[in-house]
Structure 1
């Protein structure tokens, strides 16, 4: 019984990724282009999320700075909220829901990119972060699920929305991690040229 349940998790995750590969290819390509434009023009990539999405934001920042599978120069990336002193000071000045936004108002510049990860797009602090990035003339890449929520609705034509059409947060997080890998691979390919993907 336990082994069947384990196998079902693998099947469900693979099915979701296979089912939506075509539909998500275009927005992921648009997100790749936005990141490439940012780094080649001297901009910075900032990332944020809550809980598991926050861990994924830190993970992508690590891949951008440290590299994924290929040797390349470091890319300027920062996961917001990881500096506890700054994060709590920003929250103390107003309220917790404004902590990411405060960091973006302090650090964001036109041409920078904010990557926001949320399994449902409803968290107030992430919505405010996206609004602050838009005010700073940054491009916002929203990785969401469950229809995108308020975060998905506020994204402009110049922003990018990659929405995994699923209600279950664990499945959305699994797809978001794959998207992050694809984005990093696309950046490497565009900056360094083609290389065969190791299997």
Structure 2
């Protein structure tokens, strides 16, 4: 019984990734182009997430600064610290966006669990006030977030209600974005 449950985790994850491959390729391509355009114009990528999604933001920033699969110069990206000394993580992230964001920069927001407009509204409003573009990797439950995004922003919505499946998909989406950025900047690798 335990083995079947474990196998079911694999099947559910694989099924989700197979189901969304076609529908998410267009917003992923738009997000990758936004990153390339912003980076080549001198913009920086500020990555953030609340809760466990903060770890996804840190991972993505590390891939951009370090490398994905090809050697390349580091890209100007970093993860904002949601675990700062402030009790309110949203307020801490908002303050960092206000202090560090500049016109032409991009906010890369990860959210594997549903969030309210109030939770992310402050982050998006701060980014937009700094004339930053937003790429939001979200779950199926983030309906409120859609209304806070501008036409120039990109939302990549993983249509699943389980945070674990969404987080797994976000890891793949991060890899897809890094691969697309590297392809645009470096050409096809080996």
Q: Give me the TM-score of the superposition, normalised by structure 2.
A: 0.93
**Is residue 117–residue 144 contact of structure 1 (8 Å, CA) maintained in 2?**
yes
Quote the residue 2:184 is aligned against: 190
User: CA separation in 2, counterparts of 1:155 and 1:60?
Assistant: 21
Unaligned runs of 5+ in 2: none
Alignment of 1:1-199 (within 5 A): 1-81=1-81, 87-88=84-85, 91=86, 96-119=89-112, 120-122=114-116, 124-196=118-190
Deviation string 1:76-105 (CA, Å, 9 cap, x unpaired) is 1110016x6xx33xx47xx55321111111
Paired residues of 2:135 and 2:155 also in contact (CA < 8 A): yes
1-structure distance, mates of 2:146, 2:53: 16
2:35–2:106: 8 Å Cα contact kept in structure 1? yes
Alpha-carbon displacement from aligned partner over 1:24-49 (angstroms, at most 9, x marks no partner): 11111111011001110111000111
Q: Distance in 1 between matches of 2:55 and 2:103?
A: 26
Deviation at 1:133, TM superposition (A): 0.2
Residue-pair matches, total: 189
Which 4+ runs in 1 deviate beyond 4 A?
none
More RCO (CA 8 Å, sep 6+): 2
More helix by share: 1
SS in structure 2 opposite 1:154?
coil
Quote how far apart the aligned CAs of 1:147 are. 3.4
> What is the RMSD computed on CA atoms of the aligned residues?
1.6
SS in 1 for 2:6: helix
Q: Structure 1 residue 125: deviation in Å?
A: 4.2
SS at match of 1:157: coil
Gaps of 5+ in 1: none
Residue 147 of structure 2 aligns to a residue whose secondary structure is: helix
